[in-house]
Amino acid sequence: MINITLPDGSVRQYEAGVSSMDVARSISEGLARNVLAAKVNGEVRDASRPINEDSSVALLTWNDDDGKMTFWHSSAHLMAEALEALYPGMKFAIGPALKDGGFYYDIDAGDRTLSSTDFKKIEDKMKELARQKNEYKREEISKADAIKYFEEKGDEYKLELLEGLEDGQITFYTQGNFTDLCRGPHIPDTGKIKAVKLMKLAGAYWRGDENNAQLTRIYGIAFPKAKELTEYLERLEEAKKRDHRKLGQELELFMFSEKVGQGLPIWLPKGTRLRERLQNFLRREQEKQGYQMVITPHIGNKELYVTSGHYAKYGEDSFQPIHTPKEGEEFLLKPMNCPHHCEIFGHRPRSYRELPLRLGEFGTVYRYEQSGELHGLSRVRGFTQDDAHIFCMPDQLKQEFLSVLDLTRMVLTKMGFSEFTAQISLRDPDNPDKYIGSDENWDAAEAAIIEAAAEAGLTTVTELGEAAFYGPKLDFMIKDAIGRQWQLGTIQVDYNLPERFELEYIGSDNQAHRPVMIHRAPFGSMERFISILIENTAGKFPLWLAPDQVAILTISDRFNDYAHEVLNKLAPHDISGFVDERNEKIGRKIRDAELQKVPVMLIIGESEAEEGKVSVRRQGEGDQGSMSLTEFTEWFEAAAES
RNA sequence: GCCAACAUAGCUCAGCUGGUAGAGCAGCUGAUUUGUAAUCAGCCGGUCGGCGGUUCGAGUCCGUCUGUUGGCUCCA
């Protein structure tokens, strides 16, 4: 008998050779039906494989990430089986599951060209094969036999893969009539796959190398329940509707111009109002916490970046230097604000009494991103960071970190994001030479970050080896309204720049000391943050942020004068908007304001003009009744708070 | 950057196998003076992304450039 330890800590006894599936059955039939694979002593394996010694076993279902990955991997095999059945002679390269969901298979279709019009046929075949509930059978095979099999089949890709594998650890998996070289594991049988959809087709090189053959990559998704596929597709639809590029155009927030240049966003009036509101908000909050704003130029002498080390690191992959008429003089578009801020710190002697010195700037920087990486506002070549650099003494690090965490969390919460986690990136303990700065400093900084995050009550994930060479960091991850994860603001500790710029302060001991620097940007960049904000709100910005807060809609042009009077009276209350004077019916004006997602509509006709009132309508909600202007400003303030 | 697809009016899109461009919305003009998601009519608007080529003839075929979109070793 062997002991099987389950995740809840309970221990059960079974005959040696028992399978994970048997274990599941002994617990409940329902569980057994849902088991996709099992994690045995930390290794994900087929549920059918025998266990011969005392082990810990976790049964994996659709609710486990490893279960999903196994499911999708098996789905890739199912797709390959369907392809082979429909189009004999195809060669298969690799077909993994994807962490972000779904799977793909890279295939060499020979002379045949596959297109998305073939998807339906392939999906139908997959469903047909799935209904046969074919078992995924594992088989250990000798390298010679494996080579023979694929030589006969004429699949040079699998043969190449075999070259890299050792005899004795090669396995085949077979379901139905399809056999594939595969490490596994797989789900018990194809019958679990109830819903499949092929998503897209892309070119991909064999082994990702452009010198190799170009293969056809087919992406697909699969689920154990039809309903889950429907929901998945609905989520994709929803994401499409929220796409900030689409909304940015519809709401006239920003634009791009070929003439201005790729990846260089142009902020239109409405987008600018939105952005300025965000900046003002952040500026005020930062000033409350003792930040001082500074402004530095968009270009800097090359020497500045040689000093900071950025030139050596980014030289040829960036915008190239600007030459002046003067011989040998070169300027760089600034890729970062920190060197400038270091110069501010260093321009006169600093006392420890001035620390922490917190310098903030909405600094616009330019980076030459690869053209293929550009994407709407989220990946651009010119953007503005909500940047700040805190120069402090080592023993102030934790306190400063804590206030930055507080600030970040506060502003994100105000922005409507409530679920965050923090990723803490530390040194790679096996590679101490990769990092600059003393061990004591690193230990202290890492401890400061970990303690600060714990004190702030943040859920954290720690990644070893992910730190920058100059210091550890913490990144904020947020979840948006439709469940997507985004990486936002980052907080980094830096020992490097103070050293390169030879920054010093005079301590209470009358000796010179080197300050520690914290880089931090709660939003990251205004561009990227706003792209996330647009997608999170679907363009329905909170009242206090909306570019136009109220649309004043007149029933007929007889009331235009009163409408303007109302607009003027709202201005002192910091409520802004416009009067829709068009000669249109009220229904039309409402529709247009609704589509423009103006949060509040004030409807003005005969009765309002006579009684000095406004009829209030909330975007997406409808009529809120009529009120006096005083009542309305109170209503507005209350609404803006919530 | 590489691969693929796409680029037609301000926007969304139609235009069969090559035979000199169309719709809806927007805009303009007029009528209408309107009560909670589209009033009616008329008009304007495109060297079909740029350049080159094939052809008697190119939005349509080929090349090239620009831009956009999706992908670009999560290893069998």
A250 assigned to some structural domain: no
A505 and A405 inside one domain = yes
pLDDT, mean of residues A146-161: 88
CA triple A264-A266-A267, angle to 5 deg: 140
Whether CB of A624 is under 7 Å from strand B: the answer is no
* Spatial distance between the Cα atoms of A18 and A559, rounded to a whole number of angstroms: 83
User: Both A83 and A151 in a single domain?
Assistant: yes
Residue A79 CB burial class (10 angstroms; 0-12, 13-18, ≥19): buried
A390 with A476, same domain: the answer is yes
Residue A258 resides in a domain: no
Q: Is the CB of A165 under 7 A from strand B?
A: yes
Clarify whether residues A228 and A133 are in a common domain: yes
Q: What is the mean pLDDT of residues A96-111?
A: 83
How many structural domains comprise chain A? 4
* Structural domain boundaries, residue A138: 66-239
Whether residue A128 is contained in a domain is answered as yes
Residue A120, pLDDT above cutoff 90:
no
Is the pLDDT at A64 greater than 90? The verdict is no
Rounded distance, CA A75 to CA A77, Å?
A: 5
In whole angstroms, what is the distance from residue A89 CA to residue A200 CA? 22
Q: Any idea which nucleotide's C1' is nearest the CA of A592?
A: B37
Q: Do A133 and A42 have their domain in common?
A: no
- A53 and A176 both lie in a single domain: no
Query: What is the reported pLDDT for A328?
Result: 86
| A379 shares its domain with A519 | yes
**CB-based contacts of A614, cutoff 8 Å, min separation 6:** A552, A566, A602, A603, A604, A608, A626, A627, A629, A632
CATH of the domain at A16: 3.10.20.30
Is residue A416 within a helix (H) or strand (E), and if so which, with residue range?
none
Cα separation, A63 vs A71, whole angstroms: 11
Q: Judge whether A472 and A449 are in contact, CB under 8 Å.
A: yes
Can you give the CATH number for the domain in which A627 is found? 3.40.50.800
**One domain, residues A417 and A479:** yes
- Asked whether residue A501 falls in the same domain as residue A488, the answer is yes
Q: Which of residues 174-213 of A touch strand B (CB under 7 A)?
A: 180-183, 200, 202-205, 207-210
Note the pLDDT of residue A481: 84
Q: Residue A532 belongs to a domain with what CATH number?
A: 3.30.930.10
A605 CB and strand B closer than 7 A: yes
Instruction: At A599, give phi and psi (nearest 5°).
Output: -65, -35
Last residue of a domain, one of A41, A61, A81: A61
Residues A520 and A599 in one domain: no
The verdict on residue A586 lying in a domain is yes
What are the tens digits of pLDDT across the range A315-338?
A: 677 788 888 888 889 999 999 999
* Tokens standing for residue A342: 């270091």
Q: Could you tell me if A344 and A497 are in contact, meaning their C-beta atoms sit under 8 angstroms apart?
A: no
- Specify the 3-state DSSP secondary structure of A588: helix
A326 in a structural domain:
no
**Two structure tokens written together for A89:** 């002679």
Nucleotides of B under 7 A from a protein CB: 1-4, 11-12, 31-39, 66-76
The residue out of A516, A537, A558 marking a domain boundary is: A537
Say whether pLDDT at A111 is over 70.
no
Residue A566 has pLDDT above 90, yes or no: yes
A338 is catalytic: yes
DSSP conformational letter for A7? T
Q: For residues A370-377, give the mean pLDDT.
A: 89
Task: Output the pLDDT for position A528.
Answer: 93
Catalytic residue among A182, A338, A342, A392: A338
What interface predicted TM-score (ipTM) does this complex get? 0.92
Our answer to whether residue A519 is catalytic in this structure is yes
Closest to A562 (Cα-Cα) out of A629, A469, A624: A629
A229 lies in a domain? yes
The tens digit of pLDDT for each residue in A420-476 reads 888 999 988 777 777 877 888 888 889 889 999 999 888 888 888 888 888 899 998
The pLDDT score that the predictor gives to residue A252 is 94
Kindly state whether residue A614 falls inside one of the protein's structural domains: yes
Q: How many whole angstroms separate alpha carbon A610 and alpha carbon A639?
A: 26
For range A504-508, the mean pLDDT: 96
Spatial CA neighbour of A302 closest among A289, A320, A327:
A320
Whether A609 and A556 map to the same domain: the answer is yes
* pLDDT mean across residues, chain A: 90
| CB neighbour list of residue A212: distance below 8 Å, 6 or more residues apart | A205, A206
Looking at the domain assignment, is residue A327 inside a domain?
no
pLDDT in tens, A261-281: 899 999 999 999 999 999 999
Q: For residue A300, what pLDDT band results from cuts at 50, 70 and 90?
A: very high
The residue from A341, A519, A520, A528 that is catalytic is A519
Phi (first) and psi of residue A485, to 5 degrees = -95, 140
Residue A487 — φ and ψ, nearest 5°? -95, 125
The confidence score (pLDDT) of residue A210 equals: 66
Q: Is the pTM of this model over 0.90?
A: no
Question: Rounded to 5, what percent of chain A is helix, strand, coil?
Answer: 40, 30, 30
Q: Collapse the DSSP code of A158 into the 3-class scheme (helix H, G, I; strand E, B; otherwise coil) and give the result.
A: helix
Q: Residue A527: its pLDDT value, please?
A: 95
Residue of A80, A20, A78, A74 lying closest to A50 (CA atoms): A20
Domain edge (last residue) among A537, A572, A596: A537
What's the CA gap between A240 and A616, in Å, rounded? 31
Tally of CA atoms within 13 A in the half-sphere of A327 that contains its CB: 0
Same domain, A460 and A484: yes
